[in-house]
Structure 1
Amino acid sequence: MQQSAVHIDDYILSERLMAGDPGAREMIYDHYGPALYTIILQVIADNEKAENALAQVFVYIFNDAVAYRDSGDITLFGWMRRVARQMALKLAVGELEDNGTMVSNGSLLFRFTTGLPEGIQTVFRLCYYKGLSREAVARMLGLHPEEVASQLREAMVAFRKFLNN
């Protein structure tokens, strides 16, 4: 017998998550973990550090699920994607702080972002700071989603180089 994919409404899933339901946590981890890990790997190229970041993302998601309801995000995955991107950026910059390279997360990210070419900077800000999907950014800017994806790849390559300098 073939099993069909289980779909559960974001509202119901988020309510179960806020109630601390272990089944909801397991479902979210199993269903969204690989996608969130891929998002983190775009920022943190090291597998072990990316796995640690993913663990921190899920700790945040599981402990602060009420933040989803308050975020204004339409989908649960959209919120989790934004959390993963922001956590990955924060952790990547935080590593530098631990090494004494920079004192303020904001100033380092600001310096990186302002050093990007204008078009890439706009795409980066909309995707990583605002948490918008590539498709939404493409519609906003009148670009093809592939162009947005390409610009994000360029930004991530530049970010890794920036962190290594």
Structure 2
Amino acid sequence: MDIHVTIDGEVIDLHSLTDEEFAFYMNALMKYKENIPHNEFLKLLQSPEVMKGKKITREVTKSNLFRAIQDLEHRLAIRQGIVSGEVSQEEPAQKAEYVSAYKAAQMKNATITGIVRAVREGRLAGHQDKKRGHWKIPTKALEKYTPTRQNRKKK
């Protein structure tokens, strides 16, 4: 799995997770697919792996692991009739096609620096390759991304 696509269509790059966080995510995904009781799944969202031993803070809620697990929890609550809503039939965990920051900048008429800044600030899913250091941006994330004015190329 490369990305997690939320109910709202937000793309979370799973390569940004640590190995431990990714293992935890895959375990939560398995439990989601098993349709475990919602109250049991909530314990995963409140676990030390997600909470980092803290209370729920802005930092915790902005983490990719928390956002992905929370999305699975929301999907499960809808599936089990606890809350109303619709869940798309699209699988939340998906393989992704990636492009370089250079190609992403071309596709969005933006600067490479602007694309990298958006990834670092969490406004665009993506990660830096651990071996070569190249930035990789999921094409699915680019579909919804609009560069800020200062990140656009000058005409």
TM-score bin, normalised by smaller chain: under 0.3
Higher relative contact order (CA 8 A, sep 6+): 2
Higher helix residue share? 1
Higher strand share: 2
Q: What TM-score, normalized by structure 2, do the two folds share?
A: 0.26
